């Protein structure tokens, strides 16, 4: 089963991501196709941004920064246009030391010149953002919800996964909640997205946010494979992702890489990628990267004795060349807590670098 929806592309089952330079706004367009066999679970993320063409003032410079807002005095935005749950937006910083950092635009509703953001606890005032004629540049990016990405059963929409009245019969979308998975499915009786624990009196989950910097797990219950084909603009900045930095906390992150990359090229142990990444000779003392292999998790750590990435429980001393496929998210687990914005950031390289 192929599907396309919103920025999804009807394509020919290529298990890869491809970028094309034929894009008038100077950023290449790419597409990714991932197949989920019947009865199996795959990790999934979208390594592209949605199109900006319909947005007024989608790029600009900051003229003011507050505790919970960013401002561009020349923006002329439509008040409230970026602040609804049904149509979420994000803002990404595109210059300066914080290039690639992304925040959700939230309430209060945006004004013609100001957007309010959720700062993930990093503190906007601590980031050293500049304002004025040479201020930090930004771009506004459309986001997705369960309904906008996977669809619904309405006359103006198409459900692109298998729904059912019983979650045991439906395709499942899993979102990491910080301590456990949140399991969602489309309930064909209620005609809305629901959690697997919901009853009919519970609210609709149609507007549940799917963060582009986070990964998903998809379980296919349909009798045929599901091929997800996604199109979008390739990033031209690093992906600076916020992650939980309490002791041993796990965060499921999208790397935003449009081609296959290796553990060595991600180089998360480098100080330019991750502040205070903890390597060790013993994996029990090291920060860990987890990759889904289709049936379970491969756990990797940076062995400071060998100077290479190594799989936990594997005697092979060098896994630097282990490939992480395009669109594959990774779990990151840090052994110690962090306090600053840099401590809570993983910086993945800009695609193609």
Phi then psi dihedrals of residue 344, to 5 deg: -105, 25
The confidence score (pLDDT) of residue 1 equals 35
Burial class of residue 116 (count of CB atoms within 10 Å of its CB; 0-12, 13-18, 19+): buried
Measured between alpha carbons, how far is 236 from 226 in angstroms, rounded to an integer? 30
Candidate from 218-222, 257-261, 270-274, 349-353 with smallest mean pLDDT: 349-353
Write the CA distances from 229 to 1, 143, 325, integer angstroms.
11, 17, 15
Residue 24 banded pLDDT, cuts 50, 70, 90: very low
Tens of pLDDT, residue by residue over 200-258, are 999 999 999 999 899 999 999 999 999 999 999 999 899 999 998 888 889 999 999 99
H or E stretch at 301: strand 297-303
Which of 263, 347, 343 lies closest to 303 in space, CA to CA? 263
The confidence score (pLDDT) of residue 246 equals 85
Has residue 40 got a pLDDT over 80? yes
What is the DSSP secondary-structure string of 74-126? T--PPTTTTB-SSSBEEEEE-SSTTTTBEEEE-SSPP-SSEEEEE-TTS-GGG
CB crowding 14-50: b at 16 or more within 10 Å, else e = eeebebeeeeeeebbbbbbbbbbeeeebbbbbbbbbb
The confidence score (pLDDT) of residue 22 equals 40
The confidence score (pLDDT) of residue 16 equals 45
Has residue 313 got a pLDDT over 90? yes
Which of 139, 101, 147 lies closest to 120 in space, CA to CA? 101
Which of 100, 38, 33 lies closest to 325 in space, CA to CA? 33
Which of 50, 81, 74 lies closest to 131 in space, CA to CA? 74
Has residue 14 got a pLDDT over 70? no
The confidence score (pLDDT) of residue 244 equals 83
The confidence score (pLDDT) of residue 30 equals 87
The confidence score (pLDDT) of residue 121 equals 83
Measured between alpha carbons, how far is 33 from 327 in angstroms, rounded to an integer? 9
Tens of pLDDT, residue by residue over 87-100, are 999 999 999 999 99
Whether the Cβ atoms of residue 303 and residue 281 lie closer than 8 Å to each other: yes
The mean predicted confidence, pLDDT, of the chain is 90
Residue 26 banded pLDDT, cuts 50, 70, 90: low
Residue 168 banded pLDDT, cuts 50, 70, 90: very high
- Residue 238's SS3 state is coil
Residue 340 banded pLDDT, cuts 50, 70, 90: confident
Has residue 304 got a pLDDT over 80? yes
The confidence score (pLDDT) of residue 7 equals 52
- Residue 248's SS3 state is coil
CB crowding 135-163: b at 16 or more within 10 Å, else e = bbbbbbbbbbbbbbbbbbeeeeeebbbbb
Measured between alpha carbons, how far is 257 from 321 in angstroms, rounded to an integer? 16
The confidence score (pLDDT) of residue 21 equals 42
Residue 50 banded pLDDT, cuts 50, 70, 90: confident
Has residue 17 got a pLDDT over 70? no
C-beta neighbour count of 284 within 10 angstroms = 9
Instruction: Give the predicted TM-score (pTM) of the model.
Output: 0.91
The confidence score (pLDDT) of residue 154 equals 86
The confidence score (pLDDT) of residue 8 equals 53
Residue 10 banded pLDDT, cuts 50, 70, 90: very low
Check the CA dihedral 203-165-182-147 and report its sign: negative
Average pLDDT over residues 17-40: 72
Provide the residue ranges of all domains of the chain, joining segments of one domain with +: 2-50+144-232, 59-142, 235-348
Which of 121, 126, 113, 99 lies closest to 70 in space, CA to CA? 113
**Cis omega (within 30 of 0) for bond into 108:** yes
Q: Where are the alpha helices (DSSP H) in the chain?
A: 146-150, 263-266
Average pLDDT over residues 59-65: 96
Full strand arrangement of the beta sheet holding 137-142? 59-61, 137-142, 89-93, 102-105, 114-118, 69-71, 64-65
C-beta neighbour count of 247 within 10 angstroms = 11
Write the CA distances from 343 to 104, 131, 241, 278, 303, integer angstroms.
20, 24, 11, 12, 21
């Amino acid at each position: 089963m192929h599907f396309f929806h919103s920025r999804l592309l009807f394509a020919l089952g290529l298990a890869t991501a491809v970028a094309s330079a034929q894009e008038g706004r100077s950023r290449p367009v790419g597409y990714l196709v991932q197949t989920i066999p019947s009865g199996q679970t795959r990790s999934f993320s979208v390594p592209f941004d949605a199109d900006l063409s319909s947005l007024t003032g989608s790029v600009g410079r900051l003229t003011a920064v507050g505790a919970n807002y960013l401002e561009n005095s020349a923006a002329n935005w439509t008040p409230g246009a970026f602040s609804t749950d049904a149509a979420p937006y994000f803002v990404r910083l595109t210059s300066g030391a914080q290039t690639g950092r992304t925040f959700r635009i939230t309430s209060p509703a945006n004004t013609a010149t100001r957007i309010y953001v959720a700062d993930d606890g990093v503190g906007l005032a601590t980031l050293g953002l500049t304002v004025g004629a040479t201020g930090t540049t930004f771009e506004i990016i459309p986001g997705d919800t369960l309904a906008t990405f996977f669809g619904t059963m309405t006359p103006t929409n198409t459900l692109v996964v298998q729904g059912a009245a019983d979650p045991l019969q439906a395709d499942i979308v899993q979102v990491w909640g910080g301590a456990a998975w949140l399991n969602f499915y489309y309930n064909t009786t209620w005609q809305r997205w629901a959690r697997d624990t919901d009853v009919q009196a519970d609210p609709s989950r149609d507007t549940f946010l799917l963060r582009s910097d986070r990964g998903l797990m998809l379980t296919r219950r349909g009798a045929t494979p599901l091929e997800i084909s996604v199109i979008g603009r390739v990033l031209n900045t690093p992906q600076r992702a916020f992650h939980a930095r309490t002791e041993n906390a796990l965060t499921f992150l999208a790397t935003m890489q449009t081609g296959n990359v290796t553990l060595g090229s991600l180089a998360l142990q480098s100080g330019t990628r991750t502040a205070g990444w903890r390597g060790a000779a013993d994996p029990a003392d090291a920060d860990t990267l987890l990759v889904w292999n289709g049936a379970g998790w491969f756990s990797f750590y940076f062995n400071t004795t060998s100077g290479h990435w190594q799989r936990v429980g594997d005697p092979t001393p060098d896994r630097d060349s282990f490939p992480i496929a395009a669109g594959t998210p990774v779990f990151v687990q840090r052994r110690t807590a962090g306090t600053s914005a840099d401590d809570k950031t993983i910086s993945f390289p800009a695609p193609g670098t």
